[in-house]
Chain A
Amino acid sequence: AQSVTQLGSHVSVSEGALVLLRCNYSSSVPPYLFWYVQYPNQGLQLLLKYTSAATLVKGINGFEAEFKKSETSFHLTKPSAHMSDAAEYFCAVNSWTEKLTFGTGTRLTIIP
């Protein structure tokens, strides 16, 4: 079985500060990992994904994530937060054996 744990259901950062959203995964086979963003009243949009190529993955809107097998982590970061980054962020894991499984989400608030 596979699962994802997102630490912190709510995260607040000041505009211009570092954004760090945590995600840890569990998978019995090599995982594929995803970060999705959901803006208010919208569907989910892919930010970035890890597919076993480079461990540091760059996505849209200045976000990136690093796959660390030893820590079973795939944390999402952005050096400088913008007001437009306020949204809900979901980490997800998939593998060739199972369907996409989501974490419970982290709501990011940006403080002006």
Chain B
Amino acid sequence: GAGVSQSPSNKVTEKGKDVELRCDPISGHTALYWYRQSLGQGLEFLIYFQGNSAPDKSGLPSDRFSAERTGGSVSTLTIQRTQQEDSAVYLCASRSGGEQGSDTIYFGEGSWLTVV
């Protein structure tokens, strides 16, 4: 697609339920990121995929959070047993190229998650 696509755009779930958030990066982009933006907060890094390398999971806040990237393209962020503090906007981003840090990172519109 033309840009990074995320779904669902909005999700309301009950506390304790599992949720899956999907990200479809820009075609050909090898790097994919997940960030979380809570109300009034900055952007918190969650996880980073680069090609076939092992993902950098250092930002995942707990073992309830996991992510996978299938076929080097689409990624799914899964939150198990959701808690109210998980309510946030989950942003996915992608960039082209290898390890070069100067590449532009393109963001999706985000998935707004509300846990009630």
Measured CB to CB, the residues of A under 8 A from B are: 31-32, 34, 36, 42-46, 49, 51-52, 90, 94-105
Contact = CB atoms under 8 A, between A and B. Distances in A.
Interface residues of B, number: 22
Contacts of A100: 33, 45, 93, 101, 105
Given A43-B91, A43-B107, A94 B101 contact: yes
B53 interface: no
Contacts, number: 55
Q: Is the interface of A mostly helix, strand, loop or mixed?
A: strand
Interface string B87-116: 000010100000111101111111000000
Interface of B: 4, 33, 35, 41-43, 45, 48, 56, 91, 93, 99-102, 104-110
A3 to B, nearest CB: 11
A31 B105 CA distance: 15
B102 A94 contact: yes
18 contacts: A34-B104, A34-B105, A36-B107, A42-B109, A43-B91, A43-B107, A43-B108, A43-B110, A45-B107, A49-B104, A52-B102, A95-B101, A99-B48, A99-B56, A100-B45, A102-B43, A102-B45, A105-B42
Contacts of A31: 101
B56 A102 contact: no
